[in-house]
Amino acid sequence: MKFFLSLLVAMPLLGEIGQKDNNDSGTTLPLKYRLNGKSTQAAFGKAKHTALAATAKLTRNDKLIAMGAIVSPEGYILTKASSCVGARLATLANGEIYQLRIKKRNEDLDLALYQMISDKKDFPYVSWNEKNASDQVSWVLSAFTELDEIRVGITSGKRREIGREGGVMGVILGSESKEGVRVTEVVPQAAADKAGLRNGDIMQKVDGRTVRKRDQVVNLVSKKDPGDVVTVEVLRKNKSMNYKITLGHRSVTFDLFNRNLQMSGPVSKRKDNFPLIIQHDLPLPKEAMGGPLFDLEGNCIGINIARVDRVTVFSLPARIASKMTTDLKK
């Protein structure tokens, strides 16, 4: 039996799409707007201007790396920390471009606060809706990457915690013997492949500890986080060799294994270990992460924090994002 060094986390079944009419402003699309495409677009037109004006494109070397939410009239921008490393410029929907300076980062929540370098004190900025905590299906929208249109979708599933993924090598383990555990396949472009492991290697030690069983390897590696380095000793053609492997993310590695990237496009490297998330289906690329998520009234209900696949995006709720904005300003 082959073992892939990845624990697959099954997503909870999503709730049914649809909900009753109610009086929750910014959550339910009024009946008159559900009749045809033009009317539906008209409904979102109310929030479109707000969404575009309060969103910024963050670039490095003229390449889009993330979006950001403008969170104050002084030009502070909240965004996804792991995506915006080295961000140099912020471009706004009106075409204005500003240099950026980093203020603070919070690695636990994968958030970073930047500030546009300017004397302006009247930047448009998001209005948080921290009370929008319903687990019901609701309409949401975000600015698209060119800041000239929006993407519309719905939330799905209950707000929940996303646990830690743990790091992985990206190998499939086969037979066990007194010599060690045979590597039957190295996932192309995954951590072990980049470090130099090959199909047929016999894994003998992990971080100096002798391994003879697949479970021993899995247990030692699963305690590590993505980005941690493990030392692996392998036997190759009767020669002992040592490799340092920088562990990858479990879900990204599994995507590589399944060639899923060819169908759904690149996903976020960091998409786990969040205290609470809103799940929605906006068709956004990973470069759009860090941008704000809005309700029908144009209130910001969260920050898009992780593209999981082509139909799943995680957002940190406004309650968490707004508090972190305040903390990072200190």
Does 110 reside within a domain?
A: yes
272: β partners: none
3 state SS of 91: strand
Q: Please check whether residues 151 and 175 belong to one and the same domain.
A: no
Burial class, 12, CB count within 10 angstroms (exposed 0-12 / middle 13-18 / buried 19+)? exposed
Contacts of 203 (CB under 8 A, 6+ apart): 173, 180, 181, 182, 183, 211, 217, 232, 233, 234
Please tell me the distance from the alpha carbon of residue 17 to that of residue 5, in angstroms, as a whole number. 35
Instruction: Outline where DSSP puts E strands in 55-110.
Output: 55-60, 63-70, 76-80, 89-91, 97-106
* End-of-domain residue from the set 178, 213, 246: 246
271 and 323 in a common domain: yes
Average pLDDT (227-244) is: 94
Q: Is the pLDDT of residue 25 over 60?
A: no
Look up the pTM and report it: 0.68
Residues in Cβ contact with 223 at an 8 Å cutoff, skipping those fewer than 6 apart? 166
Contact yes or no for 148/93 (Cβ under 8 A): yes
Q: What is the pLDDT of residues 294-312, one digit of tens each?
A: 998 999 999 999 998 788 8
Count other Cβ atoms within 10 Å, centred on residue 177. 9
Task: Indicate if 112 and 78 belong to the same structural domain.
Answer: yes
**In the listed set 246, 275, 305, which residue is the last one of a domain according to the structure?**
246
Over the chain, what is the mean pLDDT? 83
Q: Which residue has the tokens 């999981």?
A: 308
Same domain for 271 and 145: yes
Question: Do 119 and 62 belong together in one domain?
Answer: yes
6 within a domain of the structure (yes/no): no
Cα 213–Cα 205–Cα 271 angle in degrees, nearest 5: 80
14 lies in some domain: no
Q: Are residues 156 and 231 in the same domain?
A: no
Contacts of 94 (CB under 8 A, 6+ apart): 53
In this predicted structure, what is the pLDDT of residue 23?
44
Mean pLDDT of 140-151: 92
Total structural domains within the chain: 2
Looking up residue 268, the CATH number of its domain turns out to be 2.40.10.120
Q: Are residues 186 and 229 in the same domain?
A: yes
Residue 13 counted as domain residue:
no
| Domain presence at residue 107 | yes
The contacts found for 212-216 with CB under 8 angstroms, 24 or more apart, are: 212/176, 212/177, 212/178, 212/180, 212/181, 213/176, 213/181, 214/3, 214/173, 214/176, 214/181, 216/181
In a shared domain, residues 192 and 268: no
Residue 196, domain CATH: 2.30.42.10
Range of the domain at 139: 31-162+264-329
Domain shared by 147 and 271, yes or no = yes
Distance of alpha carbon 152 from the chain centroid: 18
- Cα(261)–Cα(17) distance, integer angstroms: 26
Which of 93, 79, 98, 91 has its CA nearest to residue 49?
Answer: 93
Same domain, 138 and 222: no
Residue 41 clears pLDDT 80, i.e. is over it: no
| Of 179, 189, 190, residue with least CA distance to 233 | 179
Residue 254 belongs to some domain of the structure? no
Q: Tens of pLDDT along 181-225? A: 999 988 888 899 999 999 999 999 999 999 999 889 988 887 888
Whether residue 19 is predicted with pLDDT greater than 80 in this model: the reply is no
Considering the domain boundaries, does residue 211 fall inside one? yes
Let me know whether 70 and 216 are in one domain. Answer: no
Return all residues near 7 (Cβ < 8 A) that are at least 6 apart: 166, 222, 250
Residue 317 lies inside a defined structural domain of this protein: yes
Same domain, 35 and 175: no
